[in-house]
Amino acid sequence: MLDDTGSASPTKPHGGSLHRRVLATLVAAALGLAGAELVTRAFARFGGELGAELARFDPLRARFAPHGDFGYREWPNHPYPFGNGTVAYSNSMAYRGPEVAWEKPADAYRIVLLGESTTHGFGVEDDQTIDAFMRAELAARHPGRRFEVVNLALGGYDAYQIFERMRTDGVRLRPDLVIVNSGINDVRNAQFPDLEIPGPDRRTLIWEDDLARLRADLKRGGPGAWTRIRHHLFLARLPGFARAQMQTKEAVARLRSVEPYPDAVEYFAYYVERTADLADEIAADLVLSTPASALAHYDPRSMSFRGYWIIDAETTEAYRRLLARRMREIAQARSRRGRRVPYLSHDLPPDHFLDDCHLTAEGNRAVARRFVEAAAPFIAETLRERAAVAPPPAKRS
């Protein structure tokens, strides 16, 4: 086209054509994102264990609830399925097992269990846990008496998390007896030098990224926009999911190669002592226990992806024994000071284990019997004391 001077003038794009191109680009982008979302969801459903992990990587459905500044516990009234098909159910008070009143009934003898997944009951049904078998055993031994066994243990807990659960929930329950069954997860803390005491040392905290986000959401009054987007769009979860997978691989690689530091033993001991102090403050009796370990039956050089191992079976078992010895020393020292504190270790046959430390129903039954035996002198003493102060029965007219 020529202008008035005879020169060619540039062709101006038609407005409708530009709008159509922009719209087509946006539609193509939307279709591409929709297709990518469908592929991601298909992987989450049919992609095996990795796909299932992506499906669970939902910021609004975190596995555990934040508890205090650094702790965590179960969500109330929530199922926790295990890989072997069994399921743990939490109650409205956020622990596994029958609910009790926060205020202990006058006629009840109450026991609080503290520990890790081995005490919580990994891989067994709710009626096959240590606390369930303890309730049955106590009822058989003391017909007509009222016993409550509260299981405040949870997977992933180390000595610090156990102390936190005792401080916040255990003390409030005012138990007559506290049983601490611990010494598996603290092995993972052996990868860190110069652990901060008192802590918590932030390097020892697990799932802290998710828990910190949940704490921020609670302070804000609800989840933020990005959290809601990741809840609805699997595609938006991929960057965080990939980062979490990489961090897990790096952590396992570090646990397989790092020379274990001794600091974790005293970190463990510090929080066992603090938990014991809390029991003293509420005049509760105390039993200390090391969970059973099957690693003596493993190939010494066998390795595991589990985050509570360090280097190999032999090294992990050696560190578990260091923690056990330190716990036994704590029990002995407190007993010498006039506070009777039994210490238990458990030697179980291989067929009582699901893996290196988690027990079958029969394994849990065996541990429950030993706990009841250790509790027997304390129970007898408490029942005698209550009988001595009980008012005499009213005379019949």
Contact indicator for 70, 164 with CB cutoff of 8 Å: yes
HEC string of 6-34 equals CCECCCCCCHHHHHHHHHHHHHHHHHHHH
Overall average pLDDT of the 27-33 stretch: 83
Stretch 359-377: mean pLDDT: 99
Task: Using the Cα atoms of residue 227, residue 231, residue 236 and residue 239 in order, give the sign of their dihedral.
Answer: positive
Query: Which among 118, 179, 108 has a CA at the least distance from the CA of 146?
Result: 108
Q: What is the pLDDT of residues 41-61, one digit of tens each?
A: 888 788 887 877 777 677 767
Residue in the structure block whose two tokens are 């990994």: 122
Q: Return the minimum-mean-pLDDT range out of 220-224, 257-261, 275-279, 310-314.
A: 220-224
Q: What is the structure's pLDDT at 263?
A: 97
Read off the pTM: 0.85
- The reported pLDDT for the residue numbered 15 is 63
How far is CA 155 from its chain centroid?
Answer: 3
Chain-centre distance for alpha carbon 112: 16
The pLDDT tens digits of the residues spanning 295-353 come to 999 999 998 878 899 999 999 999 999 999 999 999 999 999 999 999 999 999 999 99
Question: How far apart (Å, rounded) are the C-alpha atoms in residues 118 and 131?
Answer: 11
Instruction: State residue 11's pLDDT score.
Output: 55
Domain segments of the chain as ranges: 75-386
According to the model, what pLDDT value does residue 120 have?
99
d(CA 265, CA 186): 8
Average pLDDT in the 245-270 region? 83
Among 23-37, 108-122, 365-379, the minimum mean pLDDT is found in 23-37
Write out the H or E segment, with its range, that includes residue 50: helix 48-56
Share of the chain above pLDDT 90, in %: 65
Strands 71-73 and 65-67: antiparallel
Q: Which CATH number fits domain 75-386: 3.40.50.2300, 3.40.50.1110, 1.10.10.10, 3.40.309.10?
A: 3.40.50.1110
What pLDDT does 209 receive? 83
Rank 56-70, 157-171, 226-240, 383-397 by mean pLDDT and report only the highest. 157-171
For 260, other C-beta atoms within 10 Å of its C-beta total: 21
What pLDDT band is residue 77 in, cutting at 50, 70 and 90? very high
